[in-house]
Amino acid sequence: MSAQRPRLLRRIQGLMFKLPLMISCEDFEDFILDYLDGTLPSRQKFIFEMHMKLCRECREYLEAYRTSLELAKSTAQEEAPKQPVPEDLIAAVLAARKG
Amino acid sequence: MDDLLTALQNGDGERTQSFVREHIGWMLAVSNRIMRDPHHGEDAVQNAFAKIFDKIGQFKGDAAIKTWMHRIVVNECLMLMRKLRRTQTVMVDDLQPMYDKNGCRIEEPWVTMETPESLALQSDTRAQVNKKIMQLPDNYRIVLVLRDIEELTTLEVAEMLQVSEANVKVRLHRARAALKKLLEPLMRGLPE
Ligand SMILES: [Zn+2]
């Protein structure tokens, strides 16, 4: 496994992200939810995508975030519970209905 | 449809039984996802059916009956959680992304990243993902389950939890970030 972004590069990027139309990785993080929901206003979307082009860390982070989200969503495809529905639960529901 | 509703309202035993058998499986899956333990999951389903039979006369047929029932199960789960006082705030700070003092992200480089498609081919992926979701504290897990898995809207989740939409969004993002951290070994293709 290779090392994290070298400290010097991080310092240069830290300065660069203070320029106009630039945001820090921390600000980038706050835009992610709205970006994925498609509700980010166009100016912010431009700034967000610009940061993504310049920052490999955030690009990879977002990709992993999306993959993780896809994996979470895929658990819903489990139509039926693994164990069959307990018969006594069905009986209890029906008994309660009869009153 | 009207025929079924009438039968249920009139307490037609046979139709009621087949109705319960048709729906109880997915309802239990939903409540187990929210309640996390099967015992409370079953309690919530029982409460939900009681509510459904009680309110079936008010169902207007403007939405699909399954959607209507889904909201009822979710609500019953949340009511039960409140009753069990399982809504305390637990932090997930240690699973959040890290930055240096300039606000630059500190992220372990991704040499390889598995795709959802490649992971889907592995038989136990879903179980592993489920296990990680269950590791999230309730106050974050519920928001993620309701919005990303049960596919409710932010507004619906906010109303059900009686919090603001902004609160739901903050919690959802932190829950997703925490889950991403928990799923890293799986996505990096590293055995645990
Ligand atoms: Zn960045």
Percent of chain B, pLDDT > 90?
69
Domains of chain B: 2-83 (1.10.1740.10), 92-187 (1.10.10.10)
A48 close to B93: Cβ distance less than 8 angstroms: no
Of A14, A33, A68, the CB nearest to B187: A68
Q: Give bridge partners of residue B98 from the DSSP assignment.
A: B106
Whether residue B78 has pLDDT greater than 60? yes
Say yes or no for a CB contact (<8 Å) between B20 and A93.
yes
Structural domain contains residue A88: yes
- pTM (predicted TM-score): 0.88
Q: How far apart are the first and last CA of chain B?
A: 50
DSSP code per residue over B108-141? ---S----HHHHHTSTTHHHHHHHHHHHS-HHHH
State the best of B95, B102, B113, B154 to mutate against chain A, taking most chain A CBs within 10 Å: B102
How far, in Å, CA of B32 to CA of B43, rounded? Answer: 10
Predicted local distance difference test score (pLDDT) of residue A1: 43
Cα dihedral B102/B104/B107/B112 (nearest 10): -160
Alpha helices in chain B (DSSP H): 2-9, 13-35, 38-55, 65-83, 116-120, 125-135, 138-144, 154-161, 165-187
Q: How many CB pairs under 8 A join A and B?
A: 168
B95-141 pLDDT per residue, tens: 999 999 889 999 999 988 999 889 888 878 888 999 999 999 999 99
Mean predicted lDDT score pLDDT of chain B: 91
B29-73 pLDDT per residue, tens: 999 999 988 899 999 999 999 999 999 988 887 788 999 999 999
The pLDDT profile of chain A, 99 residues, written as one tens digit per residue, is 446 677 788 888 888 888 888 899 999 999 999 999 999 999 999 999 999 999 999 999 999 999 999 999 988 876 555 668 899 999 999 998 876
Quote the distance between the C-alpha of residue A47 and its chain's center.
18
Which of residues A47 and B2 earns the better pLDDT score?
A: A47
Enter the DSSP assignment of B163: S
Amino acid at B32: N
Structural domain contains residue A42: yes
Structural domain contains residue A46: yes
Contacts of residue B157, defined as CB under 8 A and 6 or more positions apart, other chains included, come to B143, B146, B147, B168
Tell me which chain A residues have a C-beta less than 8 angstroms from the C-beta of B187.
64, 67-68, 71
- Number of domains comprising chain A: 1
Which residue range(s) make up the domain with A43?
7-98
Does the beta carbon of B29 lie under 8 angstroms from any beta carbon of chain A?
yes
Counting Cα atoms < 13 Å in the Cβ hemisphere of A53 gives 8
State the best of B92, B105, B124, B183 to mutate against chain A, taking most chain A CBs within 10 Å: B105
Contacts of residue A43, defined as CB under 8 A and 6 or more positions apart, other chains included, come to none
Structural domain contains residue A1: no
Locate B127 and state its tokens: 């179980």
Which of residues B191 and B136 earns the better pLDDT score?
A: B136
Amino acid at B99: Y
Predicted local distance difference test score (pLDDT) of residue B87: 67
Locate B180 and state its tokens: 């991403």
Locate A43 and state its tokens: 């100016």
Going from the C-alpha of B135 to that of each of A93, B36, B128, B129, B181, the distances in angstroms are 31, 10, 11, 10, 12
**Continuous segment of H or E residues that includes residue B105:** strand B105-106
